[in-house]
Amino acid sequence: VCCVGQGFVAGERESAGQEWWAGTIRTVSGRAARVFLCTVTPEPLTAVFGAEAQIVAVARNLLLIGACFQIFDALAMTSHGALAGAGDTRYVMVVAVVGAWFLNLPLAWIFVVWADLGAAGAWIALSVEIAVVAAIYTRRVLGDQWMESAVVAEVEAVSYAPLTLPQSYDREIWALSGS
């Protein structure tokens, strides 16, 4: 997703959106593999926590809840990175703080204390927060407003000069690597 910021620096807004899509597809695909592992083979994964049936049952439930939010988390992380890379950092910060303090925290209290769901309640609250934040970030990325941030406008106003390294740089790195 750092390529999003590089696209803006190079003055290529279209590539920034394409990089977000590519990063999202890669991240969601990787998380889908984790979801598969957590849902199909929870017993071997939970065995590392001990042989007590009660611990394995709690761990299995937490793995299943964690599997539910993996895709949303992947979407939230790539969208967050794209927005931050474009310089839309204030928006990202406000959404993250509001999500954590005004959504996750109250829901965790309700699920853990009031509904007596224990650790599963905290994970459910976290899952809800991540899904909501992912939806908000993704909606912002799919719109054009994030491409109009002050940092993007400032970067585009500066002429782009590619970074050039001295020829000796390659030899120095080669020598340091021991090759």
The pLDDT tens digits of the residues spanning 95-138 come to 999 999 999 999 999 999 999 999 999 999 999 999 999 999 99
| pTM reported for the whole predicted model | 0.74
Q: Which residue has the tokens 């599963």?
A: 120
Q: Which residue has the tokens 């957590």?
A: 38
Q: Which residue has the tokens 């803006």?
A: 8
Contacts of 114 (CB under 8 A, 6+ apart): none
What's the average model confidence in pLDDT over 144-169? Answer: 59
Report how many helices (DSSP H) and strands (DSSP E) the chain contains, helices first.
9, 0
Which of 73, 69, 70, 90 minimizes the C-alpha distance to 140? 90
The pLDDT tens digits of the residues spanning 41-50 come to 877 877 776 6
Which tops the pLDDT comparison, 178 or 111?
Answer: 111
Q: How far apart are the first and last CA of the chain?
A: 31
What's the average model confidence in pLDDT over 67-76? Answer: 91
Whole-angstrom Cα distance, residue 81 to residue 76? Answer: 8
Instruction: Inform me whether the pLDDT recorded for 86 exceeds 60.
Output: yes
DSSP 8-state code for residue 51 = S
Alpha helices by DSSP H, listed for 41-160, are 42-46, 53-85, 89-98, 105-109, 119-142, 150-157
Mean pLDDT score across all residues of the chain: 80
Residue 150 pLDDT level (bands cut at 50, 70, 90): very low
Contacts of 76 (CB under 8 A, 6+ apart): 130, 133, 134, 137
- Out of 19-23, 53-57, 119-123, 153-157, which region has the weakest mean confidence (pLDDT)? 153-157
